[in-house]
């Protein structure tokens, strides 16, 4: 080959390399930008919660505080937050347990077509409807009915409300998980002499455990984060954390300090857990959308 040919090849390769490097640099810049957008608000939340009150309302705002305090947290703990944390926890755990229990059993039934396709379709449509409609719509009936039964401001009413709210979602997820299990294994168990209950407990359940874990995580987080029903149906006794946070906003002023402190307490367990259970969460999120 001629020298000029070599030169041409080198030229092309150089351009190619440049493009590649440029591409990678852009990628890194983009990634950093994304991280900032996501991390900064969280950073702001945490730092505000440990700032002195004066620093919080400082103008211009102090981005990198050089003095910290726990006074906000102390304020918060002095105002019965322990009780509210307990409320949130009890309600969330109970909801998760009941919703996953009832929802999984129901989904298992629906995954077996003995039930007859008409009833099955009716159920599925019902589940879909309930999943789609906005909770605001039922807040009034709930308020009226629950006050009528004298269950206003009780944990029981919260649990019942949340279970009803979560069951369609649980059924949606678990149905998918049950249908994913290979049917031949169920048939093998049948031939091995198992009745329905045995198949369910010895074969289906163990294999569906990951699915149940995902569903439970989501159910818990949904209950923990819920605000609307909690604000409508509780007062002093059964108040949960989200309601507490909103109460720091009044017409006169916003108590940023205690508010962010409570926010941190509310959000940290969820976020920590999410990061630990990443795989499961992403699986659950994408589950309904991607088939296969």
Closest distance of CB 202 from other proteins, Å: 8
Among 90, 143, 151, 152, which residue interacts with other proteins (rule: CB under 8 A)?
A: 143
How far is 152 from 16, CA to CA, in rounded Å?
69
Site membership for other proteins, residue 74 (CB under 8 A): no
How far is 219 from 211, CA to CA, in rounded Å?
12
DSSP string, 10-73: HHHHHHHHHHHHHHHHHHHHHHHHHHHHHHHHHHHHHHHHTS-HHHHT-SS--SS-S----HHH
Between 22 and 144, whose beta carbon lies closer to other proteins?
Answer: 144
Among 76, 110, 158, 175, which residue interacts with other proteins (rule: CB under 8 A)?
A: 110
Site membership for other proteins, residue 44 (CB under 8 A): yes
Closest distance of CB 1 from other proteins, Å: 25
Site membership for other proteins, residue 102 (CB under 8 A): yes
- Identify residues 184-203 at the interface with other proteins (CB under 8 A): 184-198, 203
51 — phi, psi (to 5°)? -95, 155
Q: Any residues with CB less than 8 A from the CB of 5 and at least 6 apart, and which?
A: none
Between 84 and 108, whose beta carbon lies closer to other proteins?
Answer: 108
Among 50, 106, 214, 223, which residue interacts with other proteins (rule: CB under 8 A)?
A: 106
- Of the candidates 278, 269, 260, the one whose C-alpha atom is nearest the C-alpha of residue 223 is 269
Let me know: does 158 contact 222? Beta carbons within 8 Å: no
Site membership for other proteins, residue 37 (CB under 8 A): yes
Site membership for other proteins, residue 90 (CB under 8 A): no
């Amino acid at each position: 080959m001629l020298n000029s040919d070599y030169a041409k090849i080198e030229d092309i390769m150089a351009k190619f390399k440049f493009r590649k490097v440029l591409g990678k640099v852009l990628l890194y810049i983009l990634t950093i930008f994304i991280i900032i957008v996501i991390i900064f608000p969280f950073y702001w939340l945490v730092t505000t919660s440990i700032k002195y009150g004066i620093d919080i309302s400082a103008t211009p705002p102090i981005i990198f505080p050089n003095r910290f305090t726990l006074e906000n947290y102390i304020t918060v703990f002095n105002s019965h937050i322990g009780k509210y944390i307990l409320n949130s926890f009890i309600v969330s755990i109970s909801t998760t347990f009941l919703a996953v229990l009832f929802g999984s059993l129901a989904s298992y039934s629906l995954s077996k077509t003995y039930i007859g396709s008409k009833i099955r379709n009716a159920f599925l449509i019902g589940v879909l409807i309930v999943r789609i409609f906005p909770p605001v719509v039922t807040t009034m009936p709930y308020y009226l009915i629950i006050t009528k039964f004298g269950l206003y401001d009780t944990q029981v009413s919260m649990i019942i409300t949340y279970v009803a709210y979560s069951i369609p979602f649980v059924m949606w997820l678990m149905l998918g998980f049950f249908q994913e299990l290979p049917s031949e294994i169920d048939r093998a168990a049948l031939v091995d002499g198992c009745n329905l209950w045995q198949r369910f407990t010895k074969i289906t359940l163990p294999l569906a455990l990951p699915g149940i874990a995902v569903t439970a995580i989501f159910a818990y987080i949904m209950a923990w984060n819920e605000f609307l029903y909690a604000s409508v149906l509780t007062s002093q006794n059964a108040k949960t954390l989200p309601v507490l946070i909103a109460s720091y906003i009044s017409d006169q002023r916003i108590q940023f300090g205690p508010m962010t402190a409570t926010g941190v307490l509310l959000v940290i367990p969820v976020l920590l857990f999410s990061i630990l259970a990443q795989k499961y969460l992403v699986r659950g999120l994408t589950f309904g959308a991607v088939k296969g």
